[in-house]
């Protein structure tokens, strides 16, 4: 009975992902912004819930992060974006662990088994590295890590902390873009800050590679 429930949930999740990806090209961020703006005090909660579900269904988080910066500003926008992304990453991790981790662990062999063991040996350090370096597919990685025996607490904390630089950079970029369209004050300064944050984000892989390199 338990196996049938897992299979049914897995099929529903896959169907939701396929449907979301088929409609993902029509994701209208402006419509979402209108809904959030018209919701008043509940707007941030609606945005977080949408971001969470979008992460679970493989919808592009970068567009939502830019929209969060435009809607809520650089500080609150970063917090709201980070909350939605972290909740979505947590749900994807738990879904993979509950639905497929036992099956994968029981059948993994060869290269796949060594890969899983390597990730588990690195633990939270692997999660931190992949979150800091914006080269790994975020949505897919959430599910993949759920197939390992990484402790959920370590995964969640490393995810929340190490996604902060990227969330701040893209949120500020969305905020600066909205200010440019609205003709706000200090556009040059805000634009330079956005460029500096993006440059720092792009430099992170090289910095982390140097830190991880043995003497």
Structural domain total, the chain: 1
The confidence score (pLDDT) of residue 113 equals 72
Quick one: tokens of 198? Answer: 């993006």
Range of the domain at 18: 2-212
Please check whether residue 50 is in contact with residue 103, taking contact to mean a CB–CB distance below 8 angstroms: no
Gap between the Cα atoms of 167 and 136, Å rounded: 15
Helix axes 74-96, 152-162, angle to 10 degrees: 150
The confidence score (pLDDT) of residue 92 equals 94
The confidence score (pLDDT) of residue 46 equals 92
Helix axes 61-72, 29-38, angle to 10 degrees: 40
Mean pLDDT (10-residue bins), the chain, 215 residues: 70 78 65 81 92 90 89 92 96 90 62 78 88 81 90 94 88 80 57 61 60 52
The confidence score (pLDDT) of residue 94 equals 93
């Amino acid at each position: 009975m338990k196996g049938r429930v897992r299979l049914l949930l897995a099929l529903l999740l896959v169907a939701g992902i396929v449907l979301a990806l088929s409609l993902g090209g029509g994701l209208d961020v402006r419509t979402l912004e209108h809904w959030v703006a018209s919701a008043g005090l509940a707007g941030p909660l609606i945005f977080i819930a949408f971001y969470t579900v979008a992460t679970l269904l493989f919808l592009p988080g970068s567009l939502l992060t830019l929209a969060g910066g435009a809607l809520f500003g650089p500080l609150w926008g970063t917090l709201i974006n980070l909350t939605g992304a972290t909740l979505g990453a947590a749900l994807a991790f738990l879904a993979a662990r509950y639905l497929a981790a036992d099956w994968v662990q029981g059948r993994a062999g060869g290269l796949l088994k060594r890969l899983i063991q390597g990730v588990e040996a690195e633990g939270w350090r692997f999660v931190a590295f992949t979150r800091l370096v914006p080269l790994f597919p975020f949505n897919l990685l959430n599910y993949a890590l759920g197939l390992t025996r990484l402790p959920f607490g370590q995964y969640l904390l490393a995810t929340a902390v190490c996604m902060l630089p990227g969330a701040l950079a893209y949120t500020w970029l969305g905020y600066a873009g909205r200010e440019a369209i609205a003709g706000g004050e200090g556009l040059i300064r805000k634009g330079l800050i956005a460029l500096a944050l993006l440059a720092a984000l792009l430099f992170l892989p090289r910095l982390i590679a140097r830190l991880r390199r043995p003497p």
